[in-house]
Amino acid sequence: MKDNTPSSPLPALPSHTKIVIVRSLWNEELTQSMEEGARRVLKEAGVKDIVTIAVPGAFEIPLACQRVIEEEKVHGVIALGVIIQGETHHGEEIARACTDGLMQVMLETSVPIVHGVLFTDSLKLAEERALGTVNKGSEVATALLHMIAKS
């Protein structure tokens, strides 16, 4: 699997940078692994203030992002979840609602939010992206650092 993480070095951020990870408890083994990948990258970049908020599922992620941005001074948010397509269209509906909600919150607040909510056709594909050599949490954390550095 190809690593799509930006190849430029991690940007230097102010020491007071605060990042919040909003992580779904659904498919917890996978989302926890993605959180660990994200935290690894953030710590490498010198971020010391990292807070995790756990929510039941992907549908609840946008609201948690909005609330934490409204209640606290945060420099960026990482949204992590795993949706695995089943036999109905429910997964598609949840993925679309989550994506639309994240975009809406980001545009309304001007706080960078990176989308690390996987939507796959199978558990195997989700495992490859969450537990494999390329960890989606690491990828989106890197992207967030670059977004914060540019703002």
For the chain, counts of helices (H) and of strands (E): 5, 4
120 is in an annotated binding site: no
| Per annotation, catalytic residue among 16, 75, 89, 90 | 90
Q: At what angle do helices 28-44 and 136-150 cross, to 10 degrees?
A: 40
52 marked ligand binding residue = no
If one counts every other C-beta atom within 10 angstroms of the C-beta of residue 6, the result is 12
**Does 139 belong to an annotated binding site?**
no
To the question of whether residue 82 is assigned a binding role by annotation, the answer is yes
Whether 16 has a binding-site annotation, put simply, is: no
Strand partners, 120: 84
C-alpha–C-alpha distance, residues 33 and 13, integer Å: 24
- CA distance between the termini of the chain: 31
**Is 60 annotated as contributing to ligand binding?**
yes
Residue 101 φ/ψ, nearest 5 degrees: -65, -45
Is 87 annotated to bind a ligand? Reply is yes
Binding residue per annotation — 119? no
* Residue 89 annotated among the catalytic residues of the structure: no
Binding residues for 5-amino-6-(D-ribitylamino)uracil: 26, 58-60, 82-84, 115
Which residues are catalytic, by number?
90
Query: Binding site for (2S)-2-hydroxy-3-oxobutyl phosphate, residues?
Result: 87-88, 129
Binding-site sequence positions = 26, 58-60, 82-84, 87-88, 115, 129
